[in-house]
Structure 1
Amino acid sequence: MLSAWNPNWWWINQRTKSREKMGAALLSREEVLERLTKVFREDGFDYATLARLSEGTGLKRASLYHYFPQGKEQMALEVLERSNRNFERLIVEPLRSNADPEEKLLQMIKNLDAYYSSGRQSCLLGMLSMGSHTELFRQKIQEAIDSWTAALAAVLKKLKVKDPLMQAEHTIFRIEGALLVVRGTGKAAVFKRLLSQLLVEVIPK
């Protein structure tokens, strides 16, 4: 036997949809991307399910698709683009400043410590480079690494470091490797020790 139709259901449903839209409207796109970044940094692409992305942003799936009609791939690409812009501003641009080379390197190491929360934050580039969708992010990851490498090599060249490009690549490999170790072991002290070593090894006395 069919239940009697309740005319209030339509109004209840409309109010619910209205609240969901209002919740989404209260978040700027920048805020949504910041919350998505935390999920992708923790889970990578493959394990960042729509359920996890919804939970991490506090938005219903319909609201997520309102911001990102192309779905999870669009979310991840926009998160990566935003991350690259922030990294460029905080880490790479100071290396291109007019400060003394030693000061540039000190600032880079200080900013890296802050950017990765002393090693407690995973590297987004590393997380997105793993899994079954690596090709989707390869170009943007390569652009970010190349920009950092070139800026660091230019500073090391001014310090007359032998093979500055190779030294820049080696330094970046070590930083990324330390973040991966911290991710696997949970020991953030590994990252802190590496930054301390770089202060001694990279900056000439």
Structure 2
Amino acid sequence: MTKTYAKPALFLDRDGVINVEKNYVHRIEDFEFVDGIFDLCRLATRLGLVLVVVTNQAGIGRGFYTEAQFHELTAWMSERFAAEGAPLAAVYFCPFHPEHGVGEYKCESFERKPNPGMMLRARDELGLDLARSLLLGDKESDIAAAKAAGVGVTLLLGEDADSARPTVVICSLADACAVLERHFLLELHDDVF
């Protein structure tokens, strides 16, 4: 018997999508939300999408900050999302790096993007329909991971699509809102007809 996954998700990379990309952000005082992230996530929630963060955190592996510091920042970030009416269902992170990791963190990981492990784990733990899900990332590795996981729509934030071949390249989170609305209006239209 095959499993049926009912809920679509909006997968979000963290650095560069949720917060302004800086050098290995790990302190609350350095964390600056990207303009429009809460509007986007409130819309996604209204459309029935589960919000899931999937983030490589090589700064842990490189010894720049600890897992405890990451969890402290993540708890604060999650509280902000909840207060803004866009609660996160889960935050998945990969602390490993195959070249620059230190000690136990220096290894390959199926969860490190561009590998699909974090999204596949989210699928299994949260009961997600990856084919109806979307990913919003700002790097080629985000798009590659989503495609490998079978995520239906990939949005690349930025002007350079490189060889990632996302579904859509967007310049702002307002653009992402428009894509979400259009995508789910089309899906509703298909369901009716």
User: Same fold per TM (> 0.5)?
Assistant: no
* Larger helix proportion of the pair: 1
Please report the TM-score for the alignment, with normalisation by the length of structure 1: 0.29
**Structure exhibiting the larger radius of gyration computed from Cα positions:** 1
* Larger strand proportion of the pair: 2
Please report the TM-score for the alignment, with normalisation by the length of structure 2: 0.31
